[in-house]
Structure 1
Amino acid sequence: MGFEIDTAELSGLVVEAGFYGMYVTLFIVSAYVFAERQSLKVATLNLPMTITAVAMILLATAQLAVDTANVFVAFLHNDRAARIAFLADVSTKLFSAKHCILITQLLIGDSFVSYRCWIVWGRRLWIVILPIMLSLGSAISGTYVMWVFAHHPSTTVKQQKSWVAAIFTLSLCANAVATSLLAFRIWQVDRRNRIILGGSTSTLMPIVKILIESGAINAAYLFVYNVTLLSGSQALEFMAQVATPISGIIFSIVIIRVGLNTKGELDWTVDHRSTMKFANGPKAKKEMITDPTITTMRTTVHEIAMGASYGTGTGIGADLEMGSARTNETNSLKGQAI
């Protein structure tokens, strides 16, 4: 016997409620951790991260409410055949609401990952052009699909599966590109910093590990969603229901892991407005002290306090956000700029 849509919706609601409870708990813990760090003057309020965190919890709450209403209406007022027909009807307001919330969550997660990447790369716009275009493509695909569902009630999800797959595939690519660029930049800075300053211990590689782990979770979910969609299984609705809380869980876990790190994981960004010239050769260290044409690079050490991507994808990737400046250090570097 096949996996009918009413079974998928009901089981999805149960699992979603469990994930939502986990998300609320992690959200409270992450807020507490950040508030404690702020009270100790270790971090200050970061507006983009705060807006993203609040938007995610509100969307997850709205998703649970809509999914609950959808299941209650279907099960309380219809027999089995009518119930299945109601849940498969793409023109209902509840269907539109739940999927609009999901698409919005994806867009928020993608945007925040791109924002993080833009910050870490010294606010270079060209770096994030590709992930931004991929996110816009995902948003356009989602808008088109919802328009078709609203104006053509006879259309089914299976008939539009190419466009639906485009939503999640483009979101997956946007998260993968932005996360890869972000992880590469942190690794690059860490490597050059250790070479130039002669350090042997990495303080930034734990950040790369957190990014990769959260991004992998997000990518795994989006991959499974696409496989479910292309297979034509009714489990698609189950996957859609759990997407929003999973995105928030990834976001909150990253904030907590970074916030509780006793080593104070750091990230470096470069002020590209400064004019820099570096000495080369075996006498570089001495020349940097005596040569007036050699300037020092001023770098601002930022605390990483990021939440996820949507991930998540879902976030809904996802991951790290640049916090307020913790300390300012002037470093004499030899060789090349970070």
Structure 2
Amino acid sequence: MPTPLYISQNFRLAMASSSIPHDTAALVSAVLEGILYGFSVLMFIGTIWASTYKRRMQDINRPIIVVAILLLLTSTMHMIITIIHVEDGLVKYRDTWPGGPTAFFANMTVETYVIKHALYILQTVLADGVMVYRCYVLWRSIWVIILPSMLWCGIIVTGTRAVYGNSQATANPGNVFAADVENWIIAFFALTLTTNILCSGLLAYRIWMIERSVSKVRATKGTMMQIVRVLVDAAVLYSVVLLSLLLCFVTTNNGESVLTDLVIPSAVYTCHEQH
């Protein structure tokens, strides 16, 4: 009778064999990231307008504005590096890289690959930091954000270690699923997914509590529940992408390269939608 370990290994091998080629994944991810980037820019413009229109300078939430600008800059830089990375693999090094474009895009030590993932880590740290900050602003209690803050610190540690592991993977540069690197990446995705769900839940619950207390003294109801729906929708969208990424790494599926590039504009879009 097959053991659970044997079944798990066969399942991972089957998923790996069904993965899309690295060069195809790079091209698809660049196109999809460009589309989502356009939406994120529109959301950024809407956020800035909503935060500054007909408001006095002292009433503007400066931290949120600064983070929104940083998120857009990070997303823009990632988009530029993605284009350079695709151009290098499909044009510049197409005939000179050992193994061709497929080997180029699979190599974790390529400079553009490392920069792309470093920007992704930075963007995640900023976006999750905003979530923790919003929890504090809404709850006005340091105790509420203790666990989210610990998770956020874990995101910084695991993300930094994952990028460093990628850049130093000289022994097996073409395998992002190598044991050491993969474990750190899986931990990173698990932490950011947990942080997103926890903070979104805390925000939605707090708004729901405020709505209940306010609805007792006014006739209209449900105004703040629209905000709760937006929070839940945004959290679900981002969580689905992160969960898909986590499953790709658990099953060693190359689809992770596509989803990783999609997370950047998705997170920017989600943060602006929650604003």
Q: TM-score range by the shorter chain?
A: 0.7 to 0.9
1:277-316 correspondence runs (5 A): none
The size of the alignment, in residue pairs, is: 251
1:158-202 Cα deviation digits (max 9, x unpaired): 01222211111100101111111111111112213334x364623
1:211-226 correspondence runs (5 A): 211-226=231-246
Q: Which amino acid aligns with 1:178?
A: C
> Residue 72 of structure 2 contacts residue 268 of structure 2 at CA under 8 Å; is this kept in 1?
yes
Match of 2:110 among 57, 81, 92: 92
Q: Which amino acid aligns with 1:224?
A: S
Aligned to 2:94: 78
Match of 2:209 among 176, 188, 191: 188
Match of 1:176 among 191, 197, 206: 197
Aligned to 1:49: 64
Give distance in 2, aligned partners of 1:88 and 1:48. 38
1:217-248 Cα deviation digits (max 9, x unpaired): 11111111111222212111111111111112
Give distance in 1, aligned partners of 2:214 and 2:36. 40
CA displacement at 1:131 relative to structure 2: 0.9
Match of 2:266 among 246, 254, 269: 246
Give distance in 1, aligned partners of 2:243 and 2:167. 27
Q: Which amino acid aligns with 2:45?
A: I
> Residue 127 of structure 2 contacts residue 268 of structure 2 at CA under 8 Å; is this kept in 1?
no
> Residue 141 of structure 1 contacts residue 167 of structure 1 at CA under 8 Å; is this kept in 2?
yes
Aligned to 1:68: 83
Indicate yes or no: 2:176 matched with 1:157. yes
Give distance in 2, aligned partners of 1:104 and 1:125. 24
RMSD: 2.0
1:198-217 Cα deviation digits (max 9, x unpaired): 64623322221111111111
> Residue 19 of structure 2 contacts residue 255 of structure 2 at CA under 8 Å; is this kept in 1?
no
Aligned to 2:248: 228
CA displacement at 1:42 relative to structure 2: 11
Aligned to 1:296: none
Match of 1:147 among 161, 164, 171: 164
Comparing 147-156 with 231-240, greater Cα deviation is found at 147-156
> Residue 193 of structure 1 contacts residue 199 of structure 1 at CA under 8 Å; is this kept in 2?
no
Q: Return the TM-score normalized by structure 2.
A: 0.85
| Structure 2 residues without counterparts, runs of 5 or longer | 1-17
Give distance in 2, aligned partners of 1:244 and 1:118. 24
* Greater fraction strand: 1
| Structure 1 residues without counterparts, runs of 5 or longer | 255-318, 321-338
Greater Rg over alpha carbons, structure: 1
Calculate percent identity across the aligned residue pairs.
24
* Greater fraction helix: 2
CA displacement at 1:43 relative to structure 2: 9.0
Aligned to 1:269: none
Match of 2:188 among 159, 167, 173: 167
Give distance in 1, aligned partners of 2:66 and 2:50. 17
